[in-house]
Amino acid sequence: MVLKLRVGFFIAWIIPYVFLVCYNIGFFTYIITNAKGLNEINRMGIFVFMWFVFSLVLVFGAIRIIQWYKQGKFHIAHPSPNQETESVEPKAAEKRLSSVPDVPSCLGCRLANGLEEAHVVFENDYVTCLLDIDPLNEGHTLILPKRHFVELADTDISARHAIMNASVRISNALKMIYKPDGISIMQNGGSFNDLGHYHMHVFPRYNNDGFGWKEPAVKSRHSLDVVKQRIAEQLKDGMPQL
């Protein structure tokens, strides 16, 4: 696996933070060197209070940056070229899974790691791509991460990259073989995830194949403007996007 720095994320957070730390040091130095004058004009307490508050902000900022670093938000993981064809031996997979409580009972984990019979079309160190046993159309493929994840939000950067990279490869293969009118890529979460293990569907589509969106039983209660504002505010106030 090759880790590449997320330059935009680094510029947006680390560089400004370093600048603010330097500014805080300079501000503290100013207070020390001008202590006598500040006392004479009764401003020492105000300046010390300002420095203290600013220092607290920097401490909380440092904690957040450390959390992001541990979560891998400063890097993008790319599989190395030789990892595209590498696979995990069943015995090694069994040993790795047995060290994680309750995971061996997960059918998705066992399928992804070669512990259950499946029609595997592609795999590497991160994902296994296998045929759906009840396909919507011929060629319907599932992409499963080898590590145990349930929801998309649970996955790490390495898994996300590998899943999306595999979806491109599978899509291109299906286009070459079946010459479909299009490709559908989807993932069901929550109560709609019938496997209990994160997986992505990739399958060829044809005009009038019968698959499509249906009218919802309950219409949206809000206008598009209200929905847009709510989602945009959540994205702005939440964790930075990967």
What are the pLDDT digits (tens) for 12-39? 777 888 888 898 899 889 888 888 888 8
Residues with a known catalytic role: 201
Q: What is the mean pLDDT of residues 169-196?
A: 92
Strands 120-123 and 141-145: unpaired
Residue 115 is classified by DSSP as S
Q: Chain-wide mean pLDDT for the chain?
A: 81
Could you give the C-alpha distances from 151 to 155, 159, 187, 199, 234, in angstroms and in order? 7, 12, 10, 9, 19
Residue 19: CB atoms within 10 Å: 10
Q: What is the mean pLDDT of residues 64-88?
A: 55
Rounded CA-CA distance 16/25 in Å is 14
Higher-confidence position of 202 and 40:
202
Residue 242 is classified by DSSP as -
Q: What is the mean pLDDT of residues 66-78?
A: 60
Q: What is the mean pLDDT of residues 186-213?
A: 90
Which residue from 73, 112, 71 is spatially nearest to 90, judged by alpha carbons? 112
Does position 67 have pLDDT exceeding 80, yes or no? no
Could you give the C-alpha distances from 7 to 65, 117, 154, in angstroms and in order? 15, 42, 24
